[in-house]
Structure 1
């Protein structure tokens, strides 16, 4: 199995690229979706998050806005939250890899791949990137996003140019979707041929 680590900063088009891999039949582990499930009603992270961050959960699971207000921009509180979430996500990732062990390629979609030292568990690091003005436009179009929140999120993430420098492959997402899909198709075909060879 070739494990592709898919990463990229907020608004770079990572979800779109992950969907393209899926459409080509490549299984994708989505760390963000896993976190959402862990924080949903009955999710394994709800009780420990409430214990550490009182008042941030309710009948709908974790109130992401309330939790974000406590942790974004506060390194100590963010580290405490990560101490709850990361072990649960790792366990889910192990289960995903076990289920897909006979597949030639899998994608591990991990937004904080570099920040958490996750590049050691993959065979290839793919960074999704776009110019800063495209990133800003995409992120500020999201519901509930503000300029201040965007700046705080960017400060918490490794800069895009550093991610690009450390990548094995960079996928540019500013071009039209058909061109991005062509980049992904070529990569999948190349890796599949390498695996067969």
Structure 2
């Protein structure tokens, strides 16, 4: 089984592209969705997060604003949270790989792929990219987002130009939805042909 990584900086349209791959029948593991599940109501990580970051969880799971305030801009605290979350996500990913081991290829949606060195274990990397002006417009339209927060998030991510340089495949989302979907379909056909799916 070949394993491809899907990544892209904030506001590039990666979630929309991931949904397109799923609609094409490609098994796709979404690391962010798994984190939300683990931190949501009744989530497996709530007790450990509450113990380390008191007052950041409740009946609805993690209070993302409170947890974000506790770790954002505090590298030591962010690493403490990652030490709780990352092993659980790795376990879920391993279970996903076992479930789909008969497939010729699958995709792992990993937002911080290059930042964590995760590309080393993959067959190839698919990067979702859009022009900087469109990225900025999309991100600043999000509730609770500010220019300062956007800059801070972008500062923690590998620059888009570097991601594109290191990519095996690029999906451009600075165009129409229809064109992006066509790019995804072409790539699925290409990867299927390579693996004989």
TM-score, with normalisation over the residues of structure 2? 0.96
Q: Any stretches of 5+ residues in structure 2 without a counterpart?
A: none
Counterpart in the other structure of 2:32: 32
Counterpart in the other structure of 1:83: 83
Number of residue pairs aligned between Structure 1 and Structure 2: 197
The range that moved more, 81-90 or 164-173, is: 164-173
Output one character per residue of 1:89-130: Cα deviation in whole Å (capped at 9) or x when no partner.
000000101111111221100001111111122211011011
The range that moved more, 13-22 or 138-147, is: 138-147
Counterpart in the other structure of 2:59: 59
Output the CA distance in 2 between the equivalents of 1:88 and 1:113: 17
TM-score, with normalisation over the residues of structure 1? 0.96
Counterpart in the other structure of 1:103: 103
Output the CA distance in 2 between the equivalents of 1:31 and 1:41: 17
Counterpart in the other structure of 1:186: 186
Within-5 A mapping of 1:134-145: 134-145=134-145
Contact preservation (8 Å) 1:72, 1:153: no
Output the CA distance in 2 between the equivalents of 1:196 and 1:37: 34
Contact preservation (8 Å) 1:129, 1:171: yes
CA RMSD of superposed structures (Å): 1.2
Q: Any stretches of 5+ residues in structure 1 without a counterpart?
A: none
Runs of 4+ with deviation above 2 angstroms? none
